[in-house]
């Protein structure tokens, strides 16, 4: 049977993967999954001490990793991050653009320009210029690579009071298609994951309110909130040879919330 069909593997040995926003939540879970699959993972967060602590945590598990602090809202900080990674490892194979903020939840009439700028600066501008910097190195390497952008079910649906966050994530979904179209010639696959309600710091308030939690659960086909581990398998699929002919797609990981 092996002569007829070779099963794809989720092997990331000798791959260098940058995961932004990986000191906690979904990013942390993805970084753990990549490290367990053999990748050298670059852990990125805003606080140097937290990055160092997370690196130590990974190393104690026998994982190969490096913690680097960076401000994803600052292009010079992003460029410095990429330069450090290339200097240390000589290449970049995978980028997961996970860093993001929820921003203010309020009616559109109550949103200020500064609140708009703060969310878009991290969620869209940071992702854009981090992808640009990584893609430039991948092109120079000539070996291709994978870029995985984290969007949200809020970028697919139209929930009230998250106009800024939802707009930023809808833009990420569309930007992924443009990136995939432009960079396919360099063998760079670009895809998007759109998580639904995953148990993280960003969703804990909703889940803690029984009334709100029940209302949200009624919209989820599987009738449960997701765990961060629920996202890892999809990220591994998009980072490995299992998805080598997949680019420009959106994969919701939301328990069926966006079915309707």
Residues classed as catalytic: 165
Euclidean distance between CA atoms 78 and 55, whole angstroms: 19
Distances (CA, A) of 105 to 123, 204, 206: 15, 14, 12
Give, to the nearest 10 degrees, the angle between helix 127-141 and helix 163-183.
20
Euclidean distance between CA atoms 95 and 149, whole angstroms: 8
Euclidean distance between CA atoms 252 and 239, whole angstroms: 16
Question: Of the candidates 123, 177, 118, 127, which has an alpha carbon nearest to the alpha carbon of residue 154?
Answer: 123
Sheet with 40-45, side-by-side order of all strands = 65-69, 40-45, 16-20, 94-97, 145-150, 188-195, 250-253
Residue 70 · residue 96 · CB < 8 Å: no
């Amino acid at each position: 049977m092996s002569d007829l069909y070779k099963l794809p593997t989720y092997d990331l040995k000798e791959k260098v993967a940058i995961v932004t926003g990986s000191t906690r939540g979904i990013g942390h879970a993805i970084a753990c999954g990549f490290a367990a699959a053999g990748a050298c993972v670059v852990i990125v967060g805003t606080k140097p001490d937290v990055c160092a602590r997370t690196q130590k945590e990974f190393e104690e598990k026998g994982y190969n990793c490096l913690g680097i602090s960076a401000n994803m809202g600052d292009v010079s900080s992003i460029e410095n991050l990429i330069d450090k990674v290339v200097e240390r490892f000589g290449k970049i194979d995978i980028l997961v653009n996970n860093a993001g903020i929820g921003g203010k939840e309020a009616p559109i009439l109550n949103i200020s320009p500064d609140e708009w700028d703060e969310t878009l600066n991290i969620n869209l501008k940071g992702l854009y210029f981090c992808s640009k910097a990584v893609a430039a190195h991948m092109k120079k390497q000539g070996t291709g690579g994978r870029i995985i952008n984290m969007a949200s079910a809020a970028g697919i649906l139209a929930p009230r009071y998250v106009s800024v966050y939802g707009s930023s994530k809808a833009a990420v979904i569309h930007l992924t298609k443009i990136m995939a179209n432009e960079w396919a010639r360099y063998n760079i696959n670009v895809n998007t994951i759109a998580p639904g309600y995953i148990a993280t710091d960003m969703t804990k308030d909703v889940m803690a309110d029984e009334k709100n939690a029940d209302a949200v659960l009624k919209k989820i086909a599987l009738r449960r909130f997701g765990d961060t581990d629920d996202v890892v398998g999809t990220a591994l699929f998009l980072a490995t040879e299992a998805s080598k002919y997949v680019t420009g797609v959106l994969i919701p990981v939301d328990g069926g919330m966006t079915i309707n």
